[in-house]
Structure 1
């Protein structure tokens, strides 16, 4: 998805935050999230709005803290540089997939309480000026990409196409674009992680 943009305008800097579904951790991830949601449904889960300990969730196994009604910003091996191994792979694989070894990449990988559908919030800086209209016109013709006003995990579940939306000029970056990308991680292979969905999104 970024490859045609790079070919047209020359990608030089990439900031990406991934929002990864529970199924990215396999069946165990789905079962853990489902068990936590069931525990909440059996109690007054609305109380979580004022007390994070209001629900007695089953002890988490896949992640350090409960995923249900929560966000987990650390669910991989943390390196000495402060980046997780998944964030390091996001940088390295982005450079490899796009064929830009010098590409500047900074990423944050987060686990969210969604069963299926990895998301990426992307802020990209290019060598040449590009408008949102130009980017949308190019993406509309890209294979495996569908433009959507509100890309979201439920809309892509069970579908092969990657959904792209919120394409806009990034006011904080020279020649920058911001966009939101969603894909069904279960349609992209058996060994599920953010890198695989990124490969489909970046290519």
Structure 2
């Protein structure tokens, strides 16, 4: 039963939003691992690549856009634009250059939105600005490296292990800052830090 002021509804919504952000961050880790595991097991296939794109679209497109959803029409338009930008990014990411993407990979835009949402307590004004910036990065013609984190330098593997530890062992503010810095570093220093070097 709801209180007159709808307090219970707000608390439930906050809990669901909090859980959704953490699920996006867990998806972040799983997405970085699935390709490495498939290649290690020799289980790569055309169907697997299509399913991976579908999983990315669901997690980093639809699920992430729902973090922005409210009853306001403009917020819903922003959600649709975010989903469409992820769709465009996934359909046209080929750059013609080996191990390079065109446009920001949607995993990093989702990591930034989920981390910022947790750190700000779901501040919608800030999330709207970040979402618009991420849309522009995803549909840009900039080049970003294919960051095979688990198949690259040891320090990148350590960053990944740190991400896993943060999810399971850390209190939530340090973990959110960790994922935020990780994602922002990919945008600011894509080739100097995150190019695929074994």
Q: What band does the TM-score fall into relative to the shorter chain?
A: under 0.3
The TM-score normalised by the length of structure 2 is 0.28
More relative contact order in 1 or in 2 (CA 8 Å, sep 6+)? Answer: 1
Judging by fraction of residues, say which structure has more strand: 1
The TM-score normalised by the length of structure 1 is 0.27
Judging by fraction of residues, say which structure has more helix: 2
